[in-house]
Amino acid sequence: MAESYRRSQWSNGLFILPYLSVFAVLLVFPLFWGAWLSLHKVDLFGPGRFVGLGNYTRVLADPVFLQALRNSIIFVLVSVPALVILGLFLALALNKTTRTTSFLRGLFFSSSVLSVTIVTLIWRFVFIPGDGLLAVISEQFGIQPVNFLSTSGWSLFSVGVATVWWCLGLPMMLFLAALQQIPNDLYEAAALDNASPWRVLTRVTLPSIARTIMLVTIIQIVMQFQLFGQAQIMTNGGPNGTSRPLVMYIYEVGFVRWDVGKAAAASEFLFLIILVAAMAQYVISSRKSEVSE
């Protein structure tokens, strides 16, 4: 460590300059610009006027914002565990090197490469009343079909189903990569001790991939708080705003109502929420590893 530090030169930093400049222009600058906009009464087309924290008080007093915030939190609380558990389950089931498992891995990952438009179109065929798959099936069984996309509760649920189906590939792949890193001698030792499969899972497999579980959880929390396309295309946030996520609120305020300052203030709240969620996960994960050491 000390040797490499002595040999390091400032000019080595030039290697990260290309990345750093793109990072600064496309991420750091917009971050601060967004914060600056949130302090102004401004539309999309010109200079605004400084209003201090006025936009923040307007956002917090807006019942539609609070509803969207609640929707986003519920969505994350339901979709992230589903993605982690299903992803882990698929990875465990497909952690073999046979032809069938390779094919199935590809199959389960394939939904991730589709665009949001295709995904929502497919699920619209499933959920739409009248000619939709679920409507047809429930009519076959003589059950009154549910209007999934226009009933409170069901609409957000439907968006969640489409999202889990779409996003499942990445968690599965990350878990598979982690599972293949576990040294085989651990399993051999467990086999010699006559450990049951459940015991192997809970005492060997899961502890070995704990960091990956945490990583997947953080990635999914950050991603699912940014839910937008599926909700906009499938339900348009309805009915009664019950499936409107935070990003859709920001989009509506900024682009449909041209109230960019207020939208920027709402974005800062979203940024803060994602930051806190990610930091909390990070703190918990680092504390756990200390205990185990």
Partner 1 sequence: MGFNGAGSPFQRERQTMRRFLLSTAALIALACATSAQAQTKIELQRFFGACDADYGKVTDVSKAVGECGIITSLINKFEADNPDIDVNVTTVEWPGYDQLNAQLASGAAPDVVSMHYSAISDYQSRGLIDPIDDVLSAQGISPDSFTDAARGGVTKEGHLFGLPFDNWTMLFHVNLNLMKQAGLVNADGTPILPTSAEELIAQGKQFKEKTGKPYLVQILANETAAYARVLYTLLQQQNADFFADPTKITLNTPEAKNVVELMKKIKDEGLTTTGLDYAASVTSFTNGDGGIAVNGTWLIGDFVAQSEKEGTALSGGYTVYPVPQLYPGRDSTYADGHSWVMPHKDRTPEQTEAIGKLFKFLAENDFQWARTGHLPAVKAVFAMPEFKALPHRENIAEIAETGRSLPGAVQRQFAIQDIIGEEVGAAVNGDKSIDEALGSAESRINDLLANI
Interaction of residue 72 with partner 1, rule CB under 8 A: no
Candidate list 58, 84, 220, 267; residue touching partner 1; CB under 8 A:
58
Half-sphere exposure of 137 (CA within 13 A, CB side): 8
Candidate list 129, 157, 187, 285; residue touching partner 1; CB under 8 A:
129
What is the DSSP track for 155-216? HHHHHHHHHHHHHTHHHHHHHHHHHTTS-HHHHHHHHHTT--HHHHIIIIIHHHTHHHHHHH
Cβ atoms of residues 270 and 250 within 8 Å: yes
Alpha helices in the chain (DSSP H): 2-7, 17-23, 29-37, 54-60, 63-93, 99-110, 116-127, 133-140, 154-167, 169-179, 184-192, 197-200, 206-208, 210-224, 229-234, 246-251, 260-292
Q: 49-50 and 40-41: which strand pairing?
A: antiparallel
Interaction of residue 19 with partner 1, rule CB under 8 A: no
Candidate list 90, 237, 270, 274; residue touching partner 1; CB under 8 A:
237
Q: Which of residues 245-274 bind partner 1 (CB under 8 A)?
A: 252, 255-259, 262
Candidate list 2, 4, 6, 46; residue touching partner 1; CB under 8 A:
46
Shortest gap between Cβ of 132 and partner 1 (angstroms)?
9
Interaction of residue 138 with partner 1, rule CB under 8 A: no
Q: Please say which residue, 44 or 53, places its beta carbon nearer to partner 1.
A: 44
Binding part of the chain for partner 1, among 29-37, 220-228, 231-239, 264-272 by CB under 8 A, reads 231-239
Interaction of residue 105 with partner 1, rule CB under 8 A: no
User: Which chain residues interact with partner 1 by CB under 8 A?
Assistant: 41, 43-46, 58, 62-64, 128-131, 147, 149-152, 234-242, 252, 255-259, 262
